[in-house]
Amino acid sequence: MTRTILIAGGGTAGHVFPALAVARELTAREDVEVVFVGVADRLEARLVPASGFELHTIEAVAIPRRPSLRLLKVPGALRAGVRSCRSLITERRAVAAVTFGGYVSFPLDRAAFREQLPLVVHEQNSVPGLTNRVAARWADRVAVTFPGSAARLRYQERCVVTGNPVRPDVLELDRAARRTAALEAFGLDPERRTVLVFGGSQGARSINSAVVAAHERWGDRPVQLLHATGGVGYTAAARGWEEARMAHPEGPPVKLVEFIDDMAGAYAAADVVVCRAGATSIAELTVLGLPSVLIPYPHATADHQRENAHALARAGGAAVIDDDELTGQRLVDTLIPLLDDPSTYAAMALGARAFGRPDAAEAVARLVLELAPEGPQP
């Protein structure tokens, strides 16, 4: 008989992509169906149905970081969200739930506790978020990406290090086999080393500024850049690049884009990556064994990106530059050893790959299935 498992993972790509990866792993079993819980105006409303999964929408409101009138909406929305999730558990005769953090997950966390439904919580970051810190008290298992996360949770004995699930197009990427086609698709020179730079969907002003400022500092090295600015930063970056090229026409070629839809292709084209230190980016870089220079977002909750970055750096898989120390010169000085010295590059690639967990989705799915009784609940 079919077992129904509920998943909540929404709001941001960092929650949605791991949730989708686990959903695919679960539904590879013939006796399992997955129903997502999410909010109608967030990213999951587009990505979940597009991936072929059912989405049940609920009310959920983020707790404002500063006092505001939005705070008055939180209790009512929370109660409504929990009621909706409890009804869903009963109607679909769910056998387990797995959540991926963020305020979208909390109603299902609470409903699972109230209905005594087996619950697995997954934490992507080295510093657990508020929702997961609370939900971990009720969860049967807590899947963590970074080993040090367990020490920050109340019941460490419930924690299992699984890694962070990665979307299939990246997980299954053969960089060497796809490299030539990827370089051609982006209009890049196959004879040059490629530095991929991105700062997330909105971009990162400090990274954009530093990579433009670095233009005059490469010397005659055969490098090129694939620079994704994000929507907010594109106009300023385009203007900066125009001025930099005019002042230093001998600088390396740059392919400038707002967004990269085909991240797997971008990774295939890249030799080294410069980016923020979000959990999803780190998971993708490490399963591919790609060396990176990480610039943690300085305003991340509990400074979790700094913790993420330094965890990978300690394993030898990345270099880290703090945002307030990022300059064009510092960026070039950090990248040059990777681009000039094959042994340095190989060591960092090895450290990154050793840190990666390509079986993360399978490991999380296994935790869920171990808790899920055979057949639907009576």
Per-position pLDDT tens, the chain of length 378: 789 999 998 778 888 999 999 999 999 988 999 999 999 988 898 999 999 999 999 987 776 666 666 666 777 778 999 999 999 999 999 999 999 998 889 999 999 999 999 999 999 999 998 899 999 999 999 999 998 899 999 889 999 999 999 999 999 999 999 999 999 999 999 999 999 999 876 668 999 999 999 999 999 999 999 999 988 889 999 999 999 999 999 999 999 999 999 999 999 999 999 999 999 999 999 999 999 999 999 998 889 999 999 999 999 999 999 999 999 999 999 999 999 999 999 999 999 999 999 999 999 999 999 998 875 555
DSSP symbols for 57-69: E----PPPSS--G
CB atoms inside a 10 Å sphere around CB 238: 16
> What's the alpha-carbon Rg for the chain, to the nearest Å?
22
Nearest to residue 166, comparing CAs of 368, 355, 367, 369?
355
CA atoms within 13 A on the CB side of 350: 6
Q: How many CB atoms lie within 10 A of CB 370?
A: 12
Strand locations in 116-253 (E): 119-123, 141-144, 159-161, 193-198, 223-228
Token pair belonging to 308: 């993420």
Q: Which domains does the chain have, with CATH numbers?
A: 3-165+358-371 (3.40.50.2000), 169-355 (3.40.50.2000)
How many Å separate Cα 194 from the centre of its chain?
A: 22
Measured CA distances, 29 to 5, 92, 99, 357 (Å)? 12, 18, 19, 21
What is d(CA 362, CA 60) in angstroms, rounded to the nearest whole number? 29
Query: What CA–CA distance (Å, rounded) separates 346 from 356?
Result: 15
How many angstroms separate the Cα of 85 from the Cα of each of 33, 98, 110?
A: 17, 13, 9
